[in-house]
Structure 1
Amino acid sequence: MAQSLFKALKLRGACDIDVLAPGWSLPILERMPEVRRGVVMPLGHGEFGLGKRRTLGKSLAGEGYDQAIVLPGSLKSALVPFFAGIPRRTGFRGEMRYGLLNDLRPLDKAALPMTVQRFAALAAPAGTPLPAPFPMPRLIAQADNQPRLREAHALPAGVPAVAFMPGAEYGPAKQWSIPHFAALARSLAEQGFQVWVLGSNKDREAGEAIAAGNPAVRNLAGLTALGDAVDLLAMSAAAVTNDSGLMHVAAALDVPLVAIYGSSSPEHTPPLSQRVSIQTLRLDCSPCFKRVCPLGHTRCLTDIAPKRVLAALGELGLPCSAPASERSAAAVIPLVPSSLPGA
């Protein structure tokens, strides 16, 4: 989602953009034409590491940066730009960052309800309206990597593929049930599609369960690097996903996408694309934003039937069929670029 910020900066004038980010995210940055280079953050999530942050900041001091834009709200995230002596250090108020940031902005959550809006707002002086049209994330797949991936994983080129992303790092309250994914995979296989399960090694077991007894499913979870997953998604005819990082990747590749929401909210972090069907039941108990269902039933996810998701794929243009009774209720109208506040 930070790519919308990078695009907004470029709209304001010529500039070079370097991004300090975790090492695992560099393949994503490589597929953003706005980014000159990625700089590896040597610390893990939640690690304070004052000495390492000071060393990294001092190493960047000679780069001549004019501005640093800090997206996280933590105190520690503001340390590297401060130690680097970057003249203008921009960010929203967070954990006592007075002095560390000298272009400190109040955050009006009502005016900027979406994370992507908050990022893009930091491209311009405080109070400036968001750019219109709103700059949407758009990744560029590495086309020369795609034939290699097909060969390495024996993926037939003549059969359209639907990508499944069954993982969600936050917890099971964001994960559509594996039996539902498996049932959907069977329906797609019967209609002539192959299914690629994408994710990390943590999703390997889920992929095996989805693939069990279904030769049309290829479980690639844990077998590909993040950059490879991006390039595989770009070759997919459509994708079905939980609210996850790969959901945003698929949206940024403009792949027709069914996004399934349970404990989280599509109003806060929607997939940013026009070819999206958001599936959410909006039960009284959701969104609860819990990792595990506090009521023990996870009905917000289990009550979304595979036939409903199949119908949503058909409405997005995938040549598949579902009962008419499912089609009429399949899709919740998604948040599209034209409906973003400030766009």
Structure 2
Amino acid sequence: MAEAPRLLVVGPSWVGDMVMAQSLFITLKRRHPGATLGVVAPPWSEPILARMAEVDEVHPLAVGHGEFGLGIRRAVAQRLKGRFDRAIVLPRSWKAALVPFLARIPERAGFLGEQRYGLLTERRPLDKKALDQTVKRFVALGLPENEAADGAFDIPLPRLAVSGDSQDSLRERLGLGGRPAIGMMPGAEYGPAKQWPLEYFHALAARLIEDGFAVRILGGPRDHPAGEAIVAGLAHAHNLCGETSLAEAVDLLADCEQVVTNDSGLMHVAAAVGTRVQAIYGSSSPAYTPPLTGNAHIHYLGLYCSPCFKRVCPLGHTNCLNHLYVDPVYRAVRDGAERIPALEPQ
């Protein structure tokens, strides 16, 4: 009987992409029972990877966006030498393939990109029509090339583990009360062309609070001012941006009835913990990076200029979001609510 392989994945650098990479991890474990799976990833991603049952080892690569960091890559590669049989490199950059190459991992697979001919032993062409979603591209690299070429393969949905004990302590520590919660994620690291107007978030929050819900704004420290704008003047609205760790955000999102969110990393986290997602798309496309769940409602106008995939609207109007008004999103939240709370006494 052949020994179970030792597999290494060089992971992506964004929260949403790392969540989507779990579909690959699940595929690898199903294809190779008993395999050891390690992931080379940015240190920030460790709390996310810790919630994935398929990941056996995490090897942090503390290199910033755009940083070459040859010395750091060499050090990580040195620790990996002799420990893995095959590496899968998800990013298409030249530097992403360096660690498996320097670690002398015998098989190193990835898509063609940035002249990586000497770094990869298996260089696959990328058919963007057949592999028309990010998650498909990830999963394809875990399959034999002849099975993956047409894009007609199963994609297992990500599923992050949740801590009930953490949820209880967070509700108490943050004073979140007992109302059923709607999460809101106003941030999008990519840029303003993916961000629904803050005044729309505020108006939606006010209506939902009047209906008996609580609202939780989640995001990083840079999203804190946006959170303040949304909760301004509202009772039962909590700006948690920058107040929680990434692991705590996982548990808080799982504790929400629904979330209303831009196309962002936390959108993918919410989908992966099973919370109903109201996903708002502007410059990006729900066909390319959809929330990987059967429990989502997509809000997308599909204007003639969409999707442009730009950080800032090239036409200067951002009508793909400005014309996506509050009413249809509010109705979708109410239609999808498992519990319609009774109004509290005034």
Residue 14 of structure 2 is matched in structure 1 by: none
RMSD: 1.4
Per-residue CA distance 1:298-325 (angstroms, 9 max, x = gap): 111011111110111133244569xxxx
Residue 259 of structure 1 is matched in structure 2 by: 279
Residue 213 of structure 2 is matched in structure 1 by: 193
Asked whether the 8 Å contact 2:258–2:337 carries over to 1, the reply is: no
* Structure 2 counterparts to residues 1-343 of structure 1, below 5 A: 1-14=20-33, 15-62=35-82, 64-129=83-148, 133-156=154-177, 158-319=178-339
**Aligned-partner Cα distance in 2 for 1:318–1:168:** 27
Identity rate, percent = 55
Q: What amino acid is the match of 1:124?
A: L
Return the offset for 1:236. Answer: 0.5
**Which stretches in structure 1 are left out of the alignment for 5+ residues?**
322-343
Compute the TM-score of the two structures, normalised by the length of structure 2: 0.89
Asked whether the 8 Å contact 1:201–1:222 carries over to 2, the reply is: yes
**Which stretches in structure 2 are left out of the alignment for 5+ residues?**
1-19, 342-346
3-state DSSP class of the match of 1:109?
Answer: coil
Alignment length, in residue pairs?
Answer: 319
**Aligned-partner Cα distance in 2 for 1:91–1:111:** 16
Per-residue CA distance 1:248-285 (angstroms, 9 max, x = gap): 11111121110000011111111111111110111111
**Aligned-partner Cα distance in 1 for 2:79–2:152:** 34
Per-residue CA distance 1:102-138 (angstroms, 9 max, x = gap): 0111111111100000100111221214685421111
**Aligned-partner Cα distance in 1 for 2:257–2:268:** 16
Asked whether the 8 Å contact 2:257–2:337 carries over to 1, the reply is: no
**Aligned-partner Cα distance in 2 for 1:178–1:319:** 26
Compute the TM-score of the two structures, normalised by the length of structure 1: 0.90
Return the offset for 1:169. Answer: 0.6
Residue 336 of structure 1 is matched in structure 2 by: none
Asked whether the 8 Å contact 2:59–2:76 carries over to 1, the reply is: no
**Aligned-partner Cα distance in 2 for 1:132–1:170:** 29
3-state DSSP class of the match of 2:36?
Answer: coil
Return the offset for 1:51. Answer: 2.4
**Aligned-partner Cα distance in 2 for 1:132–1:57:** 32
3-state DSSP class of the match of 1:17?
Answer: strand
Return the offset for 1:144. Answer: 2.1
**Aligned-partner Cα distance in 1 for 2:221–2:52:** 25
Asked whether the 8 Å contact 1:73–1:92 carries over to 2, the reply is: yes
**Aligned-partner Cα distance in 2 for 1:271–1:199:** 17
Asked whether the 8 Å contact 1:173–1:293 carries over to 2, the reply is: yes
